[in-house]
Chain A
Amino acid sequence: MKILVAVKRVIDYNVQIRVKDDGTGVVTDNVKMSTNPPDDNAIEEAVKIKEAGKATEIVAITVGEEKAQETVRKALAVGADRGIHVKADGILEPLAVSKILQKVVEKEKPDLVFMGKQAIDDDCNQTGQMLSALLNWPQATFASKIDIKDNKLEVTREIDEGLETIEINVPAIVTCDLRLNEPRYASLPNIMKAKKKPIEQIVASDLGVDISPRLEQIKVEEPPKRKAGIKVANVAELVQKLKNEAKVI
């Protein structure tokens, strides 16, 4: 089985986001960037499946500017065999990314495509579902457990009401939840080895798909700030405030 794992470079989850004064976006200069956290779970799961002898090759792919390659390099350091970097500048909407991935899937013919369920920058939660629509493949979104059974996958999905289990035929798309596994850290020797693994460069415009944005970002602004509250001295004061001041209990 061959697994394609899509990874995205985003502002690190620990960074305090700052909105640009001119309202055009958020500050990204000199800001720490990392792999989108659930994409790390997607890579980890692929590596575990390969270690269990159920996958033969893991290909990590990213779409984006030059530096997006770092996320592929990191995936190679934790166990992906080779990488693909589709170069594209500017704003890439999930629809555009899924069209690019569709082209790559048609060429690479993986059995499974894994990715995080949501990117923590635009919070769209769309790309996996869109890709599976374009390919007309089954989709298992928000996966917290994956069991491989021959040509089928049994996937436990995290839904609002609890957990749902579905069985999907391969080829299929799985979008990963943070609870799917515990991503490993890359060891230094593996980081060194990853430098020698190949990353194929593709220019997005060569794929013949329309990736121009359909959405206009009119402005980006700070959310309204909450007024600072107070510290209470003890539980009795807290309950008194909730009862008589806030009137919520």
Chain B
Amino acid sequence: MAVLLIAEHNNKELRPFTLNAATAASQINEDVHAIIIGQNSAEATKQLSELPVIKKVLSVEASHYENFTAENFAPVIIKLAENYSHIVCSANTFGKNLMPRIAAHLDTSQVSDIIKVISPDTFLRPIYAGNAFATIKSNDEKKCVTIRPTSFDPCDSTGGSAPIEKVEASEEFSLTKFVKREEIKSDRPELGTARIVVSGGRGMQSGDNFKLITEIADKLGAAIGASRAAVDAGYISNDHQVGQTGKVVVPDLYIAIGISGAIQHLAGMKESKIIVAINKDGEAPIFSVADYGLEADLFEAIPQFMEELNKLNTIQK
């Protein structure tokens, strides 16, 4: 039986992590079908059909799918589930919200947030904020799996031409109503997929001081991250949080400024290729994972850092 991938999109286009989840799905079984549920999502549906790893696209459209409510999405997938061995989705807030609702209906014990496909029924996943890795074998007939997107490379996005099949919509779940979404628009790269991330912590001391982080991020073409302490203190909005209960990032370069490095934060960034820590406390745990540590007052170090960057002839973007 084929694997069913639930595409994440914003009706206009696919969200980038759908490509990573598609890679993971294709490692379970080469026969991957993808379902896209939305409203006026023809363009995103076309993008999905162009992924070479996708063999068939199922498209469902209705006005009550416009805002991705799990209570509306789950019945569509449950109805199709009998044709599939696995249902997979990214382990971000979209998939985390949706997949357990599907798994419970199918009486399946979900495997969350996998980082490796060992075999079609066995997966590797982090537990305890990534302080241990568990190898889990699912004995359920149908498997519901969410995928940590940063642990899988994105699949090719062009060259495919999967057939698109329309699927009938399910009834609306009337007890949940979407009210509004406040998305923070920015020209910077997305945190989850950025090549460089510059993050600030409690050491920044105020939201105003985060401007120092912004300047460096702009100079490097980087995304901006934050520790939970910085978000809790109101220095920056929640969509920037990196860590166990925030986002997991794996950039080529992660620069942690004024972040002590609690295990909950390390859980979200310690797989980064190169880690830089700037902190005035030489004993801060962040230094234990840093490739390059600088023990310094960040309010002196950041302006110097900008100065040194300005001296460089070229900066990779």
Using a CB–CB cutoff of 8 Å, the interface residues on chain A facing chain B are 11, 13, 16-17, 19, 26, 38, 93-95, 98, 117-118, 120-134, 137-139, 141-142, 144, 154, 157-169, 172, 177-179, 213-223, 226, 228-232, 234-236, 238-239, 241-243, 246, 248-249
Q: B179–A167 contact, CB under 8 A?
A: yes
B154-183 interface code vs A (CB 8 A; 1 in, 0 out): 000000000000000000010111111111
B63 interface hit (Cβ, 8 Å)? no
Residue pairs across A and B with CB atoms within 8 Å: the count is 264
Q: Is the CB of B128 within 8 A of A17?
A: yes
Residue of B70, B287, B294 touching A129 (CB-CB under 8 A): B70
Contact A125 B112 (CB under 8 A): yes
- Among candidates A11, A117, A125, A142, residue contacting B128 with C-beta atoms closer than 8 Å: A11
Contact A214 B292 (CB under 8 A): no
Residues of B within 8 A of A19 (CB): 131-132
Q: How far is the CB of B20 from chain A (nearest CB, A)?
A: 14
User: Which listed residue (A123, A157, A213) contacts B113, Cβ 8 A?
Assistant: A123
A195 to chain B, nearest CB (A): 31
B220 an interface residue at 8 Å Cβ cutoff? yes
Task: For the complex of A and B, list the 4 residue pairs with the smallest distance between their C-beta atoms, beginning with the closest.
Answer: A129-B100, A214-B109, A130-B104, A133-B104
A134 and B104 within 8 A (CB) = yes
Complex: chain B residue closest to A135, CB-CB: B104
Q: Check A229 against B275 for contact (C-beta < 8 Å).
A: yes
Among A93, A133, A162, A177, contact of B101 (Cβ-Cβ < 8 Å): A133
For the complex, what is the distance from the CA of A132 to the CA of B139, rounded to whole Å?
A: 24
Q: Given A95-B110, A213-B109, A242-B292, A166–B177 Cβ distance below 8 Å?
A: yes
Which residue of B70, B244, B316 contacts A120 across the interface (Cβ within 8 Å)? B244
| B85-96 Cβ-contact flags toward A at 8 Å (1 or 0) | 000000011101
- Pull 10 A–B residue pairs with CB atoms less than 8 Å apart, ordered by A: A26-B132, A133-B102, A139-B70, A141-B96, A142-B93, A142-B97, A220-B127, A230-B293, A236-B308, A249-B196
Known: A94-B100, A94-B109, A238-B276. 16 other contacts (CB 8 A): A11-B128, A127-B100, A128-B100, A131-B104, A138-B176, A162-B181, A165-B179, A223-B126, A223-B131, A231-B295, A234-B296, A242-B292, A243-B312, A248-B252, A248-B273, A249-B196
Please tell me if the beta carbons of A246 and B274 are within 8 angstroms of each other in the complex. Answer: yes
Question: Which residues of chain A have C-beta atoms less than 8 A from B270's C-beta?
Answer: 226
In the complex, what's the smallest C-beta–C-beta distance from B225 to chain A, in angstroms?
A: 13
A164 contacts B245, CB within 8 Å?
no
Interface of B is mostly: mixed
The answer to whether A26 and B128 touch across the interface, beta carbons within 8 angstroms, is: yes
Q: Contact at B100–A126, with CB atoms within 8 Å?
A: yes
Rounded to whole Å, the gap between the CB of A125 and the closest CB of chain B is: 5
Cα(A126)–Cα(B101), bound, Å: 8
Q: Which of A125, A230, A231 contacts B96 (CB 8 A)?
A: A125
Q: Is B79 an interface residue (CB 8 A)?
A: no
Distance, CA A238 to CA B122, complexed state (A)? 42
B128 and A238 contact, CB distance less than 8 A? no
> Does B129 reach chain A (CB closer than 8 Å)?
yes
**A95 touching B104, Cβ below 8 Å:** yes
Contact bitstring B62-79, A, C-beta under 8 A = 1, else 0: 000000011100100000
With a cutoff of 8 Å between Cβ atoms, the chain B residues found around residue A26 in the complex are: 127-128, 131-132
Contact A126 B253 (CB under 8 A): no
Closest to A132 in B: B101
Instruction: Find out whether the CB atom of B175 lies under 8 angstroms from the CB atom of A141.
Output: no
In the complex, chain A residues whose CB is within 8 Å of the CB of B274: 242, 246, 248
